[in-house]
Chains A and B, each alone.
Chain A
Amino acid sequence: MSRLETLKKLETILENFLDKAVDMEKERLETIKAVEALSDINRESLRGRYVNNRLGDWFARHREPLAASRFSESELTTIGNLLSSIRSGLDAGDPETVKLADQIDHWRRKGVVPKRKLILKMPAREGQPETDDRLNRFLDMLARQQKYLGSGEFDGIHILSILEDTLKAAEAKVDPMYLHLAGSLVYFLKINGYKVAPFARRLREIEKAKSDNDME
């Protein structure tokens, strides 16, 4: 067998292998679509849009959370986070919404829960001067926010997704910069005509949780 013939045989073997590998990945592709669809619904919900129909359709397609071990652990955590976020935006004023909230609770009972975050608290610093140069501290915070946003991590990302990430960071981290940045983004979006009520509500909840933690 010549070198060319050997190469062509290897080419055929690899192409057949990849065809079969893609077939095996089909189910994973379906899972990806399911998580992305839920992520879309969450984004719409955060924008204050009505998501009951889409959420109902999603549950109709994915009736049981753990059927055939379809979802991996990390996918279930992501779904748990998304459902928790969507549930917090549901306005339980009608039976249909209540039914959807019950469905989310059903998934939660089955183990699809948001990931708990470990929050490390920094002890209060001793010996801080009684009077601070507040303007410099404010400018320093703005500079750090600019550095955070300009790191390249958010290039090409929609500002609502950036706000979503910032809120998550504000929830998980002690640094007040994220809270400040989230508030700034919410206000920026508000003056540009976005519906920001769900974001403002989440920001208030995070603030409250943090101040409760500080008092404990």
Chain B
Amino acid sequence: MTWSEGQKALRESLAALKRKDYRAASGFLAVAENTFADDDQLLILREAVDLLIAVKVEINAAENDKIEIEEIFGNGQETEFR
């Protein structure tokens, strides 16, 4: 990976963070890390993004746990959902 490719990945990651596309940002940051392995700032940024993604996954799972599925019967017969 060349320096300019690493810089490009970093730029893409910042743009993705601005539009709150955290998964894309994480991917670009992983690519940028190949070039800037010693950049602590970049490392913290990526760890924070990955943590946020994990938190969002947990929130999604916790919220889905709350949904109760009810079967609806009309006139004693099962109604088909589409």
Please give the residue numbers on chain A whose beta carbons come within 8 Å of chain B beta carbons, in ascending order.
3-4, 7-8, 10-11, 14-15, 17-18, 21-22, 25, 28-29, 32-33, 35-36, 39, 74, 78, 165
Q: Which residues of A contact B52 (CB under 8 A)?
A: 11, 14-15, 18
Docked Cα-Cα span, A4 to B58, in Å, equals 8
**Chain B: minimal CB distance from A148 (Å):** 15
CB-CB under 8 A for A14 and B17, given A4-B63, A7-B55, A78-B3: no
Q: Is the interface of B mostly helix, strand, loop or mixed?
A: helix
CB-CB under 8 A for A29 and B11, given A14-B55, A18-B48: yes
**Chain B: minimal CB distance from A1 (Å):** 13
Q: Is the interface of A mostly helix, strand, loop or mixed?
A: helix
User: Is A25's CB under 8 angstroms from B59's CB?
Assistant: no
A14-B48, A78-B4 given. 9 additional CB < 8 A pairs?
Answer: A11-B59, A14-B51, A15-B52, A17-B48, A18-B45, A21-B48, A32-B8, A32-B10, A36-B4
Our pick among B7, B49, B62 for the contact of A7 (Cβ within 8 Å) is: B62
User: Is A22's CB under 8 angstroms from B14's CB?
Assistant: yes
Minimum CB distance partner of A74 in chain B: B3
Docked Cα-Cα span, A11 to B2, in Å, equals 34
Task: Write 17 A-B pairs (CB below 8 A) sorted by A numbering.
Answer: A4-B63, A7-B58, A7-B62, A10-B55, A11-B52, A11-B55, A11-B56, A21-B17, A21-B48, A29-B11, A29-B14, A32-B8, A32-B10, A35-B7, A36-B8, A39-B4, A78-B4
Q: Which residues of B contact A10 (CB under 8 A)?
A: 55
Minimum CB distance partner of A19 in chain B: B17
**Chain B: minimal CB distance from A3 (Å):** 6
**Chain A: minimal CB distance from B82 (Å):** 31
Our pick among A4, A17, A21, A28 for the contact of B62 (Cβ within 8 Å) is: A4
Docked Cα-Cα span, A78 to B14, in Å, equals 21
Minimum CB distance partner of B11 in chain A: A32
Minimum CB distance partner of A17 in chain B: B48
Minimum CB distance partner of A77 in chain B: B3
Minimum CB distance partner of B22 in chain A: A18
Q: Which 4 A-B pairs have the closest CB atoms?
A: A14-B52, A4-B62, A32-B7, A22-B17
Docked Cα-Cα span, A20 to B10, in Å, equals 16
**Chain B: minimal CB distance from A61 (Å):** 17
CB-CB under 8 A for A4 and B59, given A11-B52, A21-B48, A32-B10: yes
User: Is A7's CB under 8 angstroms from B59's CB?
Assistant: yes
Q: Which residues of B contact A39 (CB under 8 A)?
A: 4
**Chain A: minimal CB distance from B64 (Å):** 11
